[in-house]
Amino acid sequence: MNIFWRKRIFLLFLFLCNALFSQQMITGRIIDDNNEDLSGVTVINMSTDKKVYSNLLGMFSIEASSNDELRFVKEDFRRQSTRVLTDGVNSQLLIQLFQIPKEIEEVKIVKRLTGDLEQDSRIVAKADKGEIVRDAVGLPQPVGKMREKPAEVKQVLLPILLGNLNVQGAYDLISGKARKQKRLYRYDDLQEHIAWIRDRVEDDYFTKAGIPADRISEFIEFSFVAKPQVRTYVKAKNLSGVLLRLEETIPLYVERLKKSGK
């Protein structure tokens, strides 16, 4: 019985020695397709499932036996495999991994507000060349508009009570000229405010939001009514504020278009 166990222990010892001395330390260097050192590559011995990683210089070392398969894996690179010690020589390996080509999707610029008003105004704003020239030259900006002031009822009646008659003012009120002037001025101001936005915001901003190109001006006028703050920001020449309020009225107008079937 003792002899039997001695034989088994001896055989086990031989087996362990064979396994121990048959394994060798395999070293190597990993580079990419530009011949640059590649770090963080997972090196796997497929026979023993041992894993190591290449260092900053692309170097690695791992235990392996004759004919073991080493696999090299890194994200975004094609995996490589090689057999080691096939001829009994433990030479340093040089492994080159090639990057997997990636198809670049078409870049689509979605002009949506981010919440950063300064950034948003830059995204959709068009350069006002006239304003750039005026700023560079230092031309003074006109203050107000050169318009004939429409007659007001109180400005005509009050002098009459004091014994004075504003003949021209009374005529403008009676003839309806004052009323026509106010209507014309309101229309001119409306068109000017619409044009102020159209001159500074690309049409793509509106069309990508679902507003037909031929209805952009109509949408802006709609926004003035739905959100009067839009026009307030226009008067203040605050493009960021205008864009912020337009974002609130776009869904309302698009829904209105859907319901009208246009």
Residues 37 and 115 occupy one common structural domain: no
> Which runs of consecutive H residues, i.e. helices, occur in 95-208?
117-124, 129-137, 153-161, 167-175, 177-198, 203-207
Q: Give the residue numbers spanning the domain of 12.
A: 2-96
Quote the pLDDT of residue 9.
Answer: 58
Q: What CATH number does the domain containing 56 carry?
A: 2.60.40.1120
Is there a domain that residue 11 lies in? yes
Interaxial angle between packed helices 239-260 and 117-124, expressed in degrees from 0 to 180 and rounded to the nearest 10: 60
Is there a domain that residue 104 lies in? no
Residue-wise pLDDT tens for the chain (262 aa)?
556 555 555 455 444 445 444 678 999 999 999 999 999 999 999 888 899 999 999 999 999 988 899 999 998 899 999 998 877 666 789 999 999 886 555 444 444 545 454 555 555 555 555 555 555 444 455 555 666 676 676 666 666 666 666 667 666 667 777 677 778 878 888 899 999 999 988 888 899 888 999 999 999 999 999 889 888 999 898 988 888 888 889 998 988 888 887 5
Is there a domain that residue 21 lies in? yes
Is there a domain that residue 205 lies in? yes
| Number of domains present in the structure of the chain | 2
